[in-house]
Amino acid sequence: MTSPQAVRPATSRYFEHSTDRVAASQRRQFWRDTVLNRSDAVFRPDAAAHGFSASVRGYIGGSAELRAGNLDAGVPRRGAARCRQDGGDEILLTANVSTDEKLSYQDGGGALIVPGGCFLLTNMSVPFALEMGRFRTINFRLPRGSVARAVRAWPARVAGRLLPRAPLTSLLFERMVRLADALPAMDDHAREVAMDATAAFALAALRWEARATPWGRSGDAHWAAMWSAAEMFIERHLDRGDLGPDSLARALKCSRTQLYRLFARHDVAVMDHIREKRLTRCRDMLGDPNCRLPIDEIGALRGMDNPSAFSRGFRRRFGCTPGEPRRLTSVNPDPARR
């Protein structure tokens, strides 16, 4: 069985938050700042008429994090800026315990309805929005690396996926509800043991479902074709200073959200991938004894026209200055040229 991470973070703790003791006019802002610290929230237009109330309890542990919440209607969102800001290095397993209205998940791949009693899988590195009425959910956050090892696939494929109602997932659902209800009466040692066991169970269930059915709502052939087209465009346009998500999305005729999903399937950010390509190409040129262009000009030719930034990026990536590959080539010239 794939094991979750065993290292206990210094932030392991039990927590409870409620709007009960917060002034009505400050409740939404309190909730945004205190609980929705990994997403943004939009409240529906009639929210002021019926007020707002919410409560949550949970535990942040070494292997996972659990949050059980009862909230009024709202729309939690994670935009592209938020995903870039915190990295989104988690997979969110949401148990929809109950809702007064439909719970709708939306991302660049479309929208789906999450029925009560079902699990929704969300990749926190992909922009999305959840729209719902008053609801009770249990969110179980797992490290993306643990999920990747369990399902043996790019964890981004789980974005916007419903787990089927099956014996194993039903047991997991019941276990998470019981754990959420039991947390207040447990001490931290018992909470940690229970969280580790639930994380291991969740990973085993995900691994089983990944074997039983293909991951993702779109065919692999579609994503493979998009990735091939993206790679080709990047290779051909490394010298363009404006090469980035906007120009790449236009070339692929897709939205930025779809583009981020594409790159998340390969566990890499768009600009990080472009930067890697540029730095590798520069290193190859600097190591070529037939290339005598100035170092700054080589960087500029590959879209990196800031010499200081180029030098810093090169050192971080390869552990040496851009001049060192050239010096090594001068000391050890190509034997074919002797």
pLDDT at position 142, please? 94
Residues 128-134, mean pLDDT to the nearest whole number:
83
CA distances from 214 to 73, 94, 160, 170, 309 (A): 33, 20, 14, 20, 42
Look at residues 159, 189, 212 and tell me which one is the last residue of a structural domain: 212
Provide the pLDDT confidence category of residue 338 given band limits of 50, 70 and 90: very low
Other C-beta atoms closer than 10 Å to the C-beta of 245 total: 17
Q: Give the count of domains, the chain.
A: 2
CB 332 within 8 A of CB 292: no
pLDDT at position 1, please? 37
Is residue 2 a part of any domain in this protein?
no
pLDDT at position 185, please? 96
CB 274 within 8 A of CB 313: no
pLDDT at position 48, please? 54
Residues 237, 261, single domain; the answer is yes
User: Does the pTM of the predicted model rise above 0.75?
Assistant: no
CB 116 within 8 A of CB 109: no
Structure-model confidence comparison of residues 36 and 49, the more confident one: 36
pLDDT cut 70: percent of the chain above it: 83
Best mean pLDDT range from 41-50, 156-165, 273-282: 273-282
Residues 207, 225, single domain; the answer is no
Is residue 110 a part of any domain in this protein?
yes
User: Nearest CA to 93 among 139, 149, 50, 49?
Assistant: 139
In the numeric block, which tokens belong to residue 183? 């947390």
Is residue 328 a part of any domain in this protein?
yes
Look at residues 167, 189, 212 and tell me which one is the last residue of a structural domain: 212
Helices 270-286 and 323-331: crossing angle in degrees, nearest 10, is: 30
Distance CA 103, CA 113 (A): 6
Residues 281-305, mean pLDDT to the nearest whole number:
72
CA 131 to the chain's CA centroid: 19
C-alpha torsion angle, residues 19, 25, 26, 31 (rounded to 10): 50
pLDDT cut 90: percent of the chain above it: 18
Residues 105-114, mean pLDDT to the nearest whole number:
79
In the numeric block, which tokens belong to residue 83? 């995903």
Cβ partners under 8 Å of residue 107, min gap 6: 126, 127, 128, 129, 159, 160, 257, 261
Structure-model confidence comparison of residues 299 and 236, the more confident one: 236
Mean residue pLDDT across the chain? 79
Residues 3-13, mean pLDDT to the nearest whole number:
51
Is residue 317 a part of any domain in this protein?
yes
CB 53 within 8 A of CB 87: no
Residues 257-282, mean pLDDT to the nearest whole number:
84
C-alpha torsion angle, residues 204, 207, 212, 217 (rounded to 10): 130
Other C-beta atoms closer than 10 Å to the C-beta of 21 total: 6
Provide the pLDDT confidence category of residue 304 given band limits of 50, 70 and 90: low
Distance CA 13, CA 183 (A): 11
Provide the pLDDT confidence category of residue 333 given band limits of 50, 70 and 90: low
Residues 29, 106, single domain; the answer is yes
- 318: containing domain: 220-337
Structure-model confidence comparison of residues 320 and 69, the more confident one: 69
Residues 150, 241, single domain; the answer is no
User: What is the full DSSP assignment across 84-122?
Assistant: HHHTT-EEEEEEEEEESS-EEEEETTEEEEE-TT-EEEE
Provide the pLDDT confidence category of residue 285 given band limits of 50, 70 and 90: confident
Distance CA 313, CA 275 (A): 9
76-90: per-residue pLDDT in tens?
888 888 887 877 788
pLDDT at position 65, please? 95
92-102: per-residue pLDDT in tens?
999 999 877 77
Is residue 4 a part of any domain in this protein?
no
Residues 166-185, mean pLDDT to the nearest whole number:
92
Residues 192, 254, single domain; the answer is no
CB 183 within 8 A of CB 59: yes
188-228: per-residue pLDDT in tens?
999 999 999 999 999 998 888 777 655 544 445 567 767 88
Provide the pLDDT confidence category of residue 307 given band limits of 50, 70 and 90: confident
Residues 140, 46, single domain; the answer is yes
Residues 317, 245, single domain; the answer is yes
